[in-house]
Structure 1
Amino acid sequence: MTSLKQSYLVAYDIAEDYRRNRVAKILQTCGERLQYSVFLLEVRPTKMLRVRQQLESEMDQRLDSIIVCPLGASSQASQEMLFLGRRTYEDIATPTVI
């Protein structure tokens, strides 16, 4: 059923800081940062289509690359993922206000 959430691993290599920050902000709105340029998104396929369109509009096709790896159903993907070392990403350069 396409209305169920799917998991996607998204990694990027963006040449320019401005575009890189814009891409990260798009991904942060709907996913979890696993590493500096790697996100795990758990969204419905229609949402992923909108995210893909946003990413394509931000990137420079000649210089940048983004890879989207579908991992299947969210419940299944989380069980299959193997983390070695630290589980989550913490951006120590960006202060957090609570």
Structure 2
Amino acid sequence: MAVEREKFYECEVKRRRVKATGGYEPFWKVKMIADALVDNDTEFRCKSCGGPLKVFRRNIENAPPPHVEHKLKSDSEYCAAGMHFLKATDGREARPSQSPVH
């Protein structure tokens, strides 16, 4: 029996932009995973809870397209987009990650 996995095809990636006063500042931008990989982005976080994500870059025939999933089960259990949160029947409320990526 196959294990059901959480899959997100969109997340936030860390980018940088020019500040009005000079220099650069970091910011988070929502992107599709496939586009982020083509652009060589390296820092990813969940767009719902801000938690760390694991990237799956598979380019194998019949495999799912590039995607991410929560690294921490606790994030999936309390993230509004998390598989474990969506399946929960105990009335829990969504919350930000307790280990957010800054």
User: Shorter chain as normaliser: what TM range?
Assistant: under 0.3
Q: Which has the higher helix share?
A: 1
With the length of structure 1 as denominator, give the TM-score of the two structures. 0.27
With the length of structure 2 as denominator, give the TM-score of the two structures. 0.26
Task: Answer with 1 or 2: which has the greater Rg.
Answer: 2
